[in-house]
Amino acid sequence: MVEETARTRRLAFAAHWTMEVIVVVVGVLVALAVQQWAEQRAARERADAARGRLREEVVGNTTNLIERIAVTPCLTARLRYLSDRLERADQDRGAITGFLAPSASGVRRIYAAPVRIAARDVLTGALNSGDLAVLPAGQVAALGAAYSAFDAFALANREEFALLAALAPLRIGVPGDGARRDALYTTVERLRGLNSVMKAVADDGVKTAAAAGFALTPAERRSMRSDTLLPLRKVYGQCVDVTISSRLPRTGV
């Protein structure tokens, strides 16, 4: 009887101990699950906030590209005008005499290209902090391609601005100043090449931004047309392509 009672006590103790262990283990597992859930939720919130900031940056960069696409017909026509006038200078001195005297400000006024930069601070910060780790690898790669296009566009834009600044000393105020006219012609041809490159890069940047999931919304399209594209006509005239906003990519990944 005594042995049976002792055995019963041992079983009860073992059951009680096992139950306590189970309770502790379950409690630890629940605590870990809650902590993991909280960390995942915090990571999602950080990622959502980063995506919001990133969207503002991407849309801002994309707007610069779309602006350039819209004014490309105007700039192309103006460069053609400058080239034709320079080519006719040998046969018709009136085509160039007084056109650049006393300085080349007239050319810079005719070819008044917008100067834009490429922002990437938000992307750099998000990548360094790991806030975009939840994004699919394909979307991150598309973002990288879009920002490469933004950077290439800004680099070409800076070169374009430097060429325009270099026009200042290229004065042609006297007959027979062919060397300076030729230098100006070379500069205009380089601007023509850059204009074509920037148009191609801008097209690529808009497409890759859309592929990364940052296509402009209908509201952003309407705002761009009214706030950005139509006012450009006051500067460049009717040659501005204000219909570009309706032909932009509409879907992303």
Q: What average pLDDT score do residues 161-176 get?
A: 64
Domain ranges of the chain: 2-247
Contact between residue 69 and residue 199 where contact means Cβ atoms under 8 Å apart: yes
pTM: 0.76
Residues 31-47 as b or e (16 or more Cβ within 10 Å = b)? eeeeeeeeeeeeeeebb
**pLDDT tens for each residue of 95-146:** 554 455 444 455 666 777 888 888 889 888 888 888 777 778 888 888 899 9
